[in-house]
Chains A and B, each alone.
Chain A
Amino acid sequence: MTSPLEQKKIKIAGPSVVTANRTWDGIVVYRTAAKSWSADLSEAAIVRNSDEAKALLAESVADDVGAIGPYIAPVQVGADGKIEPGNLREQIRRTGVTIGQSAQV
């Protein structure tokens, strides 16, 4: 397996975060500026250019015990600084399935 760093040149089109799944339980997490992981998107470190993105990803990949499969994902940052996922996939990862779960019948 190639590491995400080698895959291709990292280019980002706008504000982005690094997201992954926490190793011990698999939940969605975001890389924070404090070099740790948080389940809360509002705590994610925001990167705005390719070099920053690359550095954040490199540091995330290195923390393989903390979380797995890190990658760069787009976000939207509102005027009030509120961070929202940048696409449907990330929206679903953040808020959960869109279908109502069977367990909640």
Chain B
Amino acid sequence: MYAYDEIDRTLVNERVSEFRDQVKRRLSGELTEDEFKILRLQNGVYLQLHAYMFRVAIPYGTLATNQLRALAHVARKYDRGYGHFTTRQNIQFNWIKLAELPDALEDLAKVGIHAMQTSGNNMRNVTSDQWAGVAPGEIEDPRIWSELIRQHTTLHPEFSFLPRKFKIAITASDHDRAAIKIHDIGLKLIKDEKGETGFEVLVGGGLGRTPFIGKTIKHFVHGRDILSYIEAILRVYNQYGRRDNIYKARIKILVHELGIEKFSREVEEEWQQIRNSSLQIDDEVIEDIRSRFTYPAYEKLPHMPDELRQAAADADFEAWRKNSVAPHKVQGYSIVTISLKPIGKPPGDATAEQMDALADLADKYSFGEIRVGHEQNLALPHVAKRDLPALWKALDKLGLATPNVNLITDIIACPGLDYCSLANARSIPIAQELTRRFANHELANLIGRLHINISGCINACGHHHVGHIGILGVEKNGEEVYQITIGGRADEGAALGNLIGPGVKFDEVADVIEDVVEAYLALRERPEELFIDTVKRLGVEPFKERVYATR
């Protein structure tokens, strides 16, 4: 867990009273919507189809149980009893009244939660691996560095009025769970040959209208230089970035237009001027942040406790364990992923009751800590293996033990036309129908790892470009039409998917996806060959032929 210092607490409280005053002036007519819009966006408040939407940050995906209970409280008191976890370690509430928002913000501020930097053209919530600090083989806890960057960029003038929003993600493992290649800046913690900690730095990733996979701009930047290096990137961006055209304003466009060589030369020049400035990080600063992250007092536990041995006879438990439980860096412990993708329900939603109950379970079994990942699932990061059977029973009662993590029903979907004012088509009902089609666990297991991502418009909030199967909703003559891509991926091997054929209508999407999956099962060389690898080996054509032959 991370303990905020006094400065942060004061800042958060000041923002609440400032916003309370702004809302008051808005409701009295003293502020027009034009004047107020930028202020509400700075506090995470959007307007959707049916109501205001309130986006709250969960910095690097770490939540304490009192924080999760506060989110449950907001869902219950100010919203309709649920919240929606997003792909950027945020939670959104869909039905908040503007007049009550200051109260909701105040209730959250009491537990150190805020909505700063969740919208607007600034440095957004720095995201990280949801397994940070517990994943075996990780270089070191990436949240230490996320926090360093957060402190440096929060409300920093250079980062508050960027040409466009700006997103950073950090990972410290070889397997990238933070999707760093689709962020404006992606950082991978590594050690150089001398054992010094630093970063491989990637820039220019992003999805939306013009998707790009981030490129490596420098293979090693020493940890102490990372702020000056990021600042150098932002200075080049601020200098050249296009403010005239919203569609061209992201750094990915600049990197593409200048070319990665020229862009890195510019950054290097800028960096040489500032790297030995006050931006150089003292070891004490890092140590101070490091000391604020506390880790549980783990017990010395056996690798294979009796409880686990006994529970292995229960096929349902085993199905869940194999699917949702991952190794921990400390012997005798595991990381448990909690699927927020029950069959037939909107992906990423959790009710207030579920959040409260989960907070209780985290207190009992996970040292009071919960994590939020970009796949719209949650995790309990420190579960003793002997507690797994009891935890499973409790999760199952809450509807939170669907054993489908990383399977075809673990779908990432944006809110789409059911909520979003920018949408062209619905996303959630497509996801719901697909989970029903593939509800059978044996079938889903037989298919194996397969990520479906759905967006309701080209803004790509559902990351459809990097779904193994990507579904993009568009509008054609007043009708919802869906374009389907295959072969995308969001991890260390990030790639953009390719279209498999003409768009299909709402009612046909699930049929087409079934055909794609059938084609895969027929085409794969052996059961271990993942969907994504079959597509890589064969390309789009054989899929296209099979899927569209009869259409």
Contacts and interface: CB of A to CB of B under 8 A. Distances in A.
B418 A92 contact: yes
A65 B27 contact: yes
Interface string B30-43: 00111001000000
A98 B478 contact: no
B345 interface: yes
Contact of B52 (A26, A101, A102): A26
DSSP class of A's interface residues: helix, strand, loop or mixed?
loop
Contacts of A26: 47-48, 50-52, 95-98
Contact of A98 (B97, B99, B429): B429
Interface stretch (A17-25, A44-52, A75-83): A17-25
A25 B98 contact: yes
B26 interface: yes
A89 interface: yes
Contact of A101 (B49, B82, B350, B399): B82
Contact of B99 (A1, A24, A99, A100): A24
B49 A99 contact: no
Interface string A26-54: 11100000000000000000000000000
A97 B34 contact: no
Contacts of B96: 26
Interface in B33-90: 33-34, 37, 47-52, 80-82
Q: Give the interface residue-count category, chain A.
A: 20 to 34
A99 B98 contact: no
B351 interface: yes
B428 interface: yes
A64 interface: yes
A24 B52 CA distance: 10
Interface in B93-115: 95-99
| Most chain B CB inside 10 Å of its own CB: which residue of A26, A27, A97, A101 | A26
SS of B interface (majority)? mixed
Given A21-B51, A25-B51, A26-B52, A102 B98 contact: no
A24 B426 CA distance: 27
B1 to A, nearest CB: 27
Nearest to A24: B99
A97 B47 contact: no
Contacts of B27: 23-24, 65
Contacts of A93: 49-50
B346 interface: yes
B349 to A, nearest CB: 4
A69 B418 CA distance: 18
A65 B480 CA distance: 34
A27 B426 CA distance: 20
Nearest to A93: B49
Contacts of B351: 102-103, 105
Contact of B349 (A68, A92, A102): A102
A69 B426 CA distance: 22
A99 B29 contact: no
Interface string B386-410: 0000000000000100000000000
A68 B345 contact: no
Given A92-B418, A105-B351, A1 B32 contact: no
Contacts of B37: 1
Interface in B314-335: none
B479 to A, nearest CB: 8
B417 interface: yes
A87 B423 CA distance: 13
A102 B350 contact: yes
A28 B26 contact: no
B47 A88 contact: no
A40 B33 CA distance: 23
A23 B26 contact: yes
B130 interface: no
Given A102-B349, A103-B351, A25 B80 contact: no
Contacts of B99: 24-25
A88 B423 CA distance: 11
Nearest to A86: B478
Given A24-B99, A26-B50, A92-B49, 7 more contacts: A1-B34, A23-B33, A27-B50, A88-B478, A93-B49, A99-B432, A103-B81
5 contacts: A21-B52, A26-B96, A64-B32, A65-B28, A99-B429
Q: Which 4 A-B pairs have the closest CB atoms?
A: A103-B81, A26-B51, A25-B97, A102-B349
Interface of B: 26-29, 32-34, 37, 47-52, 80-82, 95-99, 345-346, 349-351, 399, 417-419, 423, 426, 428-429, 432, 478, 480
